[in-house]
Amino acid sequence: MRGSPPCTVPGAFLPLLPAPDLAAARVLRTRLGLLAAAAVGLRIKLDAARGRPFGDLPAASDPRERASRRQAGDAVLLYRALLRRLDRDAAFALAGDVLHEAALAFLDETVGPLGPGDLRPLSADARLAFVRERLVRFPNVEADLVAAEPDRVAFRVTRCRLVELVREAGHPELAPLFCTADATFFGQSRPGVTLERPGTLAGGASDCHFILHASGGEP
């Protein structure tokens, strides 16, 4: 599973997990201990096997919807499993930390190498193709490309199924947790690239307007 952690049992099999799942499992193991983290992972797997949290929705119509439900569903089930062990504030904080680390690993895999000089040598058509190819890697969003310039990329996310799905599951408070890793990723994981984002769908804005700037010299 990609994008948010299914929190499988941490331990000897950690190196076999996909990078986002591995990042999530490490946070749980560090914060809860091995046995408690394993119990949380088992609870999530059992609930998912029972069709939770989206068993009442019509069957997913395409692979992108299925992937979005897996991502959002894992976040919801993680939070519910943590609520069995922790008070609401502590469960929310830990869920946020887990999702943040998993999202960073997911972004690293999905965006791939990206530096402030990567678009400069490309033609206008090649820059458009470069950005569009990366946008379609994200199954949960519908986005309009605004600009693909040598030192600036801008696009508007007009729909995010993760935000919609956690609200449908009765946990709208989880929606902003999917947004926090973006600011960390751009500028830290990808030095020389900075993110400007005036608002988010999770925060009540009409869209998520992403503007990426080349903020430094050549990588």
Is residue 3 in a domain? Answer: no
Is residue 219 in a domain? Answer: no
What is the tens place of the pLDDT at every residue in 73-118? 999 999 999 999 999 999 999 999 999 999 999 988 888 777 777 8
Here the CATH number for the domain that contains residue 98 is 3.30.1380
Domain containing 98: what range? 14-214
What is the tens place of the pLDDT at every residue in 172-219? 999 999 998 888 888 677 778 888 999 999 999 999 999 998 875 443
What type of residue sits at position 206? Answer: S
Is residue 2 in a domain? Answer: no
What is the tens place of the pLDDT at every residue in 133-184? 999 999 999 999 999 998 899 999 999 999 999 999 999 999 999 998 888 8
Is residue 143 in a domain? Answer: yes
Is residue 8 in a domain? Answer: no
Is residue 124 in a domain? Answer: yes
Number of domain units in the chain: 1
Is residue 209 in a domain? Answer: yes
Q: CB neighbours (10 Å) of residue 215?
A: 14
Q: Please, are residues 34 and 51 in contact by the beta-carbon 8 Å criterion?
A: no
